[in-house]
Structure 1
Amino acid sequence: MSPVRPAPGGPAAWRPTTALGRALVVGALGVVGALLAGEPAVVVLAAPFVTLAALGVVHRPTHDPVLDSRLDHLTLREGVGTTSRLSLSDAEDAEYLVRVTGQPPYVVMRPSGGRVGRLLVDGGVPEVEISPRRWGRRMLGEEKVALYTPWAGYRFGPVGIGGQWTRVLPTTAPYDSRAEAPQPLGLVGAHRSRRTGNGTELAGIRPFQPGDRLRRVNWRVSLRTGDLHVVTTRAEEDTGVLLVLDALADHGASDGVDGAASSLDLGVRAAAAIAEHHVRRGDRVALRVVGRGHEQVGYGAGPRHLRRIQDRLATVRIGAAAEPDSGVLQLGVTGGAVVVVLSPMLAEPVATVAATLTRRGVAVLVVDTLPPDPRPDVPEDADATLAALAWRMRMVERSVVLDRLAALGCPVVAWRGPGTIDDVLRRLARRARLPRVVGR
């Protein structure tokens, strides 16, 4: 942020305060009245005002200060704070400083309200601690600063200082899953494959064949049968995880990271937790946002790729897209991938995508992100009774959609933090190993 340099005589220059003007007027009137009336007592009453006016004029400033405000961090997580620091130069004439920081939604500050004042000779420039409480892009650090000379004779400002755009990443709850992927298909990873290979999971024991490694020989079975037998193991592969986030609408009220969560809050935080878990296990993770922004991140792995996903989640915008994302091929689903749909299941395109992929044999898991007690937004001029009736009808339609998905074999589970999808992934993995009848 560039330093603020006021123009001479401009709105940010040193100007006499109201206190100085009042002291000059009252002192002058008292002295003149005492001379005209011949009353020395009036001079005694006006003496304090004359003294204050004289001290204020004596400390008249000669230099215009230069202000510069900066934040310690431009990327934060929900609930984590940063410090807004103000630097001054050419401020030898100032004695007292006042900072008033703007408070955008979902932001808390210390001191409360972002207002602080201090004598510069006591402890230097005061600092303001800022903590965003919800993910997204926030303009932090906007403030107005005023300086006062000794005896409050002159005031500099208030000067408006622009803030800095800060990216607030969604918080990730402690999430760890030991469930294996339903259909792993990759090079190397931590999931058991259906094919044999070099791994640690026992697949069976078979007779020795040319090319088998001697360290795989099972001597106990070989001595009992009289023929060499080797141990076969399952290969360990990685899998592709596609996260589909529904950002067409946001249902429920959001009170930040410490309060109630809306449907989009639950979806964004759940996506961040699932992505972090699978990236740490070495899986390939992709993100697709169904909404106005069309945020999308291709398959990848590693900490840098995880940061890309978190950055995209922090910039999710609510609203319907120009064209409904009902096309299955647009999701880029590949063989062996697991599709995790995070949605309140109130939009028809999202339900259509989940049903179509399930019919194709893709492992699909729907995470229901609708809050337990959602409060729909009702316009002031709307009838509350009709709005409540419409919402109940919408909930009935939603329950029908969820029942149809369950009948197709697509599990639906509500997000409740760590361990939410473990049991579902285990069932999908067991179902993937069963023989399947294919019609021709």
Structure 2
Amino acid sequence: MTDNPFRTLDLAVRRRLDSLVPGDHDSSRLGAGSEPEEVVRYQPGDDVRRIDWNITARSVDMHVWRPRADNQLDTWVLLDLSPSMAFGTVTGEKRDLAAQVVWAIGELTDAPGNRMGIATLSPDGINWGRPDRSRFAAHRCARLLDAVDHREGTAPPLADAVDAFARRYRRTGLRIVISDFIDPDGRHEEPFDWQLPLRHLAARHDVIAVEVTDPRERELPDVGSVVLADPESGRQRHVWTSDRGLREKYAAAAMEREQAIHRGLIGTGAEHLRVDTGRDWLRDLAAFLRGRRRTAHTVGHPGRNRHTR
């Protein structure tokens, strides 16, 4: 890969992203801060300056309010660069679109004190990037793509990567997993191996699962005889795509897999955002963020927000 995928993100796109910036991040944990989060009975050692006199006057016990922690946002992205992500039939490959999503995340979460780190999953294994200011870390993503060995081969299982992802950085924050969630063995039914580790991740962090797809993964075109190759295993098969029955079975199986992945992701407590190489991914991202704003009272509490696009 020689072209920088961010060159396609011109000034107009930047302006569209600027309109999506949701503002400062509210911590999901109690701690030192200034904004009231909950009112509890007074315990010896509590700060008497935080006594809630209104509630105390209405009850027989003294109550104090505990503040929401004014923490800085700690974002980590797990970027799947396994061979199945090196596929695309419209404007680019899925891994290029995934890199642009990382770039957008960096722009949206960029604020003083906020950090972002990027881990990549590829046939080279799991590689951990150095956390940096969100915008700077995201802009290094193009170099990450260039550095990855794109040879055919099998990457470590996504389940192992998510498990390592959860264990490596335990400070509560935002965790984003970007993948096509395609099983190298062709499995398309629940339970998926990545569900349990993703559930553990979502129990501690805000988790967004970004599924990257391509139109040809849902519909087989009528182009006669073609040779299809599995990017993970290298297996090949000749297919006669003019067979209408075959195309219908392919579409039905693809729909079943898509629905199973959606159910699997939502069942873990993660939020699900689907982006596609054949769609306006910025529009999908905008719709997703608007949904998060509508449920702002649950955003920041792991496992509670179920909005999906």
Scaled by the length of structure 1, what TM-score is found?
0.45
Match of 1:279 among 110, 122, 126: 110
Structure 2 matches for 1:152-301, cutoff 5 A? Answer: 167=4, 169=6, 171=9, 174=17, 176-178=20-22, 190-204=25-39, 212=47, 232-247=66-81, 248-249=83-84, 250-255=86-91, 261-280=92-111, 282-292=113-123, 294=125, 296-301=128-133
Deviation digits for residues 146-192 of structure 1 (CA, Å, limit 9, x no counterpart): xxxxxxxxxxxxxxxxxxxxx5546375163538xxxxxxxxx8323
Letter in 2 for 1:358: R
Q: CA deviation at 1:370?
A: 0.7
The residue that corresponds to 1:365 in the other structure is 208
Match of 2:2 among 122, 125, 137: 137
Q: CA deviation at 1:354?
A: 4.7
Deviation digits for residues 113-164 of structure 1 (CA, Å, limit 9, x no counterpart): xxxxxxxxxxxxxxxxxxxxxxx424xxxxxxxxxxxxxxxxxxxxxxxxxx
Deviation digits for residues 248-293 of structure 1 (CA, Å, limit 9, x no counterpart): 22333143xxxxx543332121111112322336433221222245
The answer to whether the Cα contact below 8 Å between 2:269 and 2:303 also exists between their aligned partners in 1 is no
Which whole-Å CA distance do the structure 2 matches of 1:235 and 1:408 have between them?
A: 26
Which whole-Å CA distance do the structure 1 matches of 2:262 and 2:44 have between them?
A: 51
The residue that corresponds to 2:179 in the other structure is 343
Deviation digits for residues 379-413 of structure 1 (CA, Å, limit 9, x no counterpart): 39933337847844751344334333333434322
Which whole-Å CA distance do the structure 1 matches of 2:250 and 2:300 have between them?
A: 37
Deviation digits for residues 81-112 of structure 1 (CA, Å, limit 9, x no counterpart): xxxxxxxxxxxxxxxxxxxxxxxxxxxxxxxx
Bigger CA radius of gyration: 1
Which whole-Å CA distance do the structure 1 matches of 2:68 and 2:212 have between them?
A: 36
Deviation digits for residues 35-59 of structure 1 (CA, Å, limit 9, x no counterpart): xxxxxxxxxxxxxxxxxxxxxxxxx
The 1:428/1:371 distance shift into structure 2, 3 A limit, reads farther
The 1:421/1:238 distance shift into structure 2, 3 A limit, reads farther
- Three-state SS of the structure 1 residue aligned to 2:156 is coil
Q: CA deviation at 1:368?
A: 1.8
Letter in 1 for 2:176: V
In the alignment, structure 2 segments of 5+ residues that lack a partner are 229-236, 276-280
Which whole-Å CA distance do the structure 2 matches of 1:340 and 1:236 have between them?
A: 21
The residue that corresponds to 1:106 in the other structure is none
Which whole-Å CA distance do the structure 1 matches of 2:66 and 2:263 have between them?
A: 42
Q: Which has the higher helix share?
A: 2
Identity %: 15
Which whole-Å CA distance do the structure 2 matches of 1:277 and 1:285 have between them?
A: 11
The residue that corresponds to 2:278 in the other structure is none
Which whole-Å CA distance do the structure 2 matches of 1:220 and 1:400 have between them?
A: 50
The answer to whether the Cα contact below 8 Å between 2:269 and 2:302 also exists between their aligned partners in 1 is no
Q: CA deviation at 1:209?
A: 7.2
The 1:409/1:218 distance shift into structure 2, 3 A limit, reads closer
The residue that corresponds to 2:240 in the other structure is 384
> Aligned pair count?
256
The answer to whether the Cα contact below 8 Å between 1:137 and 1:168 also exists between their aligned partners in 2 is no
Measured on the aligned residues, the alpha-carbon RMSD in Å equals 4.5
In the alignment, structure 1 segments of 5+ residues that lack a partner are 1-135, 139-166, 180-188, 256-260, 435-440
Which whole-Å CA distance do the structure 2 matches of 1:234 and 1:398 have between them?
A: 38
The 1:280/1:196 distance shift into structure 2, 3 A limit, reads closer
Q: Which has the higher strand share?
A: 1
Letter in 2 for 1:383: V
Structure 2 matches for 1:27-106, cutoff 5 A? Answer: none
Which whole-Å CA distance do the structure 2 matches of 1:410 and 1:302 have between them?
A: 21
Letter in 2 for 1:347: D
Deviation digits for residues 279-308 of structure 1 (CA, Å, limit 9, x no counterpart): 336433221222245554133335544443
Which whole-Å CA distance do the structure 2 matches of 1:318 and 1:352 have between them?
A: 24
Which whole-Å CA distance do the structure 1 matches of 2:73 and 2:299 have between them?
A: 14
The answer to whether the Cα contact below 8 Å between 1:207 and 1:229 also exists between their aligned partners in 2 is yes
The answer to whether the Cα contact below 8 Å between 1:207 and 1:230 also exists between their aligned partners in 2 is yes
Q: CA deviation at 1:433?
A: 7.3
Scaled by the length of structure 2, what TM-score is found?
0.61
Which whole-Å CA distance do the structure 2 matches of 1:193 and 1:230 have between them?
A: 19
